[in-house]
Amino acid sequence: MLCFLITGDRSYAQSNYLPAPFVPWLENQGFSQQEPAPESLEKTSQNRRSAPDKAVITPQQTLALIERLNKEGNNIKRPSPLEQVYAARIIDELEQFGYELFSRVEASPQTQERAGLPAGAVQDDFILNNGDTLNIIFRGQRKTTDLYKINNEGMLVIEDLPPISAAGRSISQLKNVLEDHTRRLHNTDVFVSLDKVRQIDILIVGNVKNPGRKTLTVFDSILDALNQSGGIDKTGSLRQIKLVRHGRSTRIDLYGLLIHGSTNMDLALQDGDKLIIPPIGPTVAVAGGAKRPAIYETLPSLKGMWHEPGTISHRISLEDMLEMAGGVLSPGQNRFIKLSLTPDGKETVQDIDKPYDTVFGDGSILMISPSHQARSGTVELTGHTRRPGIHDLDKVPTLSALLSDEKVLGADIYPLLGVIERQDTSQMTTQMIGFPPLLVVKGHFDRKLVDGDVVHLFSRTQIIDIQSPLKNNTQQESGSAEDSPEAINDPVMVSFLTERNVFMRGAVRREGSYPVAEGTSLENIIAVSGGLALEASTKNIEVTSALHGENGQSHGRSGTQRKQIDYTKDDPATIMIEPGDTIRVNQKFLKIADNSVLIIGEVSHPGRYDLMPGDKLSDLLRRAGGLSAQAYPDGTIFSRESERKAEEARFRAASRDLERSLAVAMEDP
């Protein structure tokens, strides 16, 4: 249904304005649509504004709009019946191959007149024939420029020259003949060019959009003619086009042009040629992991003594199918599945592993299922690094080759533990192997890498996060831990790291737990924890090991050993630390703290005063210069933070007791 909304004044004062909706289909049926009488128009137009100068839409515009909408509707791409049949058998929606070659825009008469003309000048070897128009220029004693047409007898008639046989000669040969005839003229040159090419008539029949007789030029080929006819319908064949010339038939297979790029099939046309487009022949389909999945036409089977009964198509192999489809998308292990229909309409499925067996016939479908390819000969570096990604195992066979420079590591690298994630093929599981990135970069540690290894590097921030259970729980509840790009979300990796913790306590700048790998020294772990604090005693560092020292301990429980480290006697770089060890750095004096008291009010020198053990209130007043003349000693207020908190707790307890007593009193009758 077509509906128009017409805006503007509804007055009908002028005769060219539509007095009522125009219905074109009534006019096609022979019903006349007469305009109302002028008297009725005058009555209708009373108390209304004057009509517009021109009608908003005329009947001619309405018909043109309907025609344009119909054309646009016809241009909507819809699947052909053959495409619908294949779509009902597989999930993929495939299109018929090759039909997009033809233009979908109908050629105008002007376009048809110029179609096929070559750009630039025509070559001198062009063969002339009846109907060609030549532009011949004489310069010298004779100065003329004129157009001459080769007549039906193939003769070229020029003033003052005898008739010249031009049909069948090339332009250069005709030019030589003209030069021979003009030698008697003094100093005269001849120039010959093709002005207008002759036209030819051909007949196109069969499965094309616009069959019939077409007028073309000698430069047009078979593809030009098919384009002029609107292209081949999807019900027509691209591989069995017949060119009939002088009673002889030639088969044209456009797949040679579309697939192999051969132009031998795009022959030039001659006057009187006939093109016959038969119905489409047998078809096959290629779907899945192909470069050009589509429905392809195959050739019909040849009738002869070796013809199989019931076979209508020429059988082709897997190699032929892949060649038509452009090959597979990904090389490697691909599964090739053949779907075919039995005579009773049942679908059969068959795996194809022999590429040269001719098993595909009419209606067969080749499904290409690409397998997931595993990388080979690579290692992956990931995490806190400046060079993440895949690396060639031949170039980086070891950790030292992969982490060859400190520039590979991130700015906030955690230097004591990295992880190699390796596939254990014997158990079909993942194996975690720890290593110290610091020692690898310094050349003091190395390990051989194998194919498929994933090397993980961590930042200090990641290590701190996994060592704070309360913080991690809070982040997970709010969802921020998973959103953080640096968060370690793999529970197996988190467990592997926390199992290798060393616990730092005492006079270090960052107490806590730090995971370590083999080869980590006391010097390394103290450096990672921020170094020794000012009050640390380098002569009294305790290292307690829970993994070593059985039958050799002097204190503590069985299976543990505690050693006293003195920097003056022991080199911390030679003392190895293992996962589970506890290190305590004792203090040689109390940690510096701000012990002070504030005195304000009526004293001679108010302000903050530092305290020493044993200082009393009287000592503070004396240091502050004593009370002023306006001081009121009995109103002195002494405030201490601990006392303030205790008093606040007492007030809150009293408030709760009062609320409880009131609640009980209100419940009693």
Are 211 and 111 in contact by the 8 Å Cβ rule? The answer is no
Please report which confidence band the pLDDT of residue 431 belongs to, taking 50, 70 and 90 as the band edges: very high
Which residue type is seen at 541?
I
Class of the domain covering 378-458: alpha beta
Q: What integer pLDDT is reported at residue 116 of this predicted model? A: 45
pLDDT above 70 for 552: no
pLDDT at 39 over 60: no
Residues 6+ apart with CB under 8 A from 153: 130
Of these ranges, 14-23, 73-82, 541-550, 571-580, the one predicted with the greatest mean pLDDT is 571-580
pTM (2 d.p.): 0.53
Same fold, 200-277 and 283-302+311-370: yes
Superfamily of domain 500-587: Outer membrane lipoprotein wza domain like (3.10.560.10)
Report d(CA 38, CA 15) in Å as an integer: 9
For the chain, the average pLDDT equals 81
Q: Label residues 179-214 b or e (16+ Cβ within 10 Å = b).
A: eeebeeeeebebebebeebbebebebbbbbeebeeb
- In CATH, the number for domain 283-302+311-370 is 3.10.560
Nearest partner of 507 among 594, 572, 587, 563, judged by Cα: 587
**β partners of residue 459:** 413
- In this predicted structure, the answer to whether residue 33 has a pLDDT above a threshold of 50 is no
Q: Which among 372, 286, 284, 375 is positioned nearest to 334, based on CA atoms?
A: 372
- CA-CA-CA-CA torsion sign (392, 393, 399, 405): negative
Q: Which superfamily, per CATH, for 200-277?
A: Outer membrane lipoprotein wza domain like (3.10.560.10)
Could you state, in order of their start, the residue ranges of all structural domains in the chain? 1-76, 119-196, 200-277, 283-302+311-370, 378-458, 500-587, 596-638
Lowest mean pLDDT among 24-28, 154-158, 428-432, 445-449: 24-28
Higher pLDDT, 321 or 115: 321
Q: Identify the DSSP state of 34.
A: P
Q: Which fold has domain 119-196?
A: wza like fold (3.30.1950)
Closest of 448, 396, 401 to residue 422, by C-alpha: 448
Contact 116, 216 (CB under 8 A): yes
Answer positive or negative: Cα dihedral of 337, 338, 339, 343: negative
Does 88 score more than 70 pLDDT? Answer: yes
Average pLDDT over residues 212-218: 88
Q: What is the DSSP letter of 126?
A: P
Question: Strands 144-149 and 133-139, how do they pair?
Answer: antiparallel
pLDDT number for residue 14: 41
Residues with Cβ within 8 Å of 11's Cβ and at least 6 positions away in sequence, in order, are 17, 44, 45, 48, 49, 50, 51
CA nearest neighbour of 103 among 232, 288, 261:
232
User: Please, which pLDDT band fits residue 380 given cuts at 50, 70 and 90?
Assistant: very high
Mark residue 168 as left, alpha or beta (left: phi above 0; alpha: psi -120 to 50; beta: remaining).
Answer: left
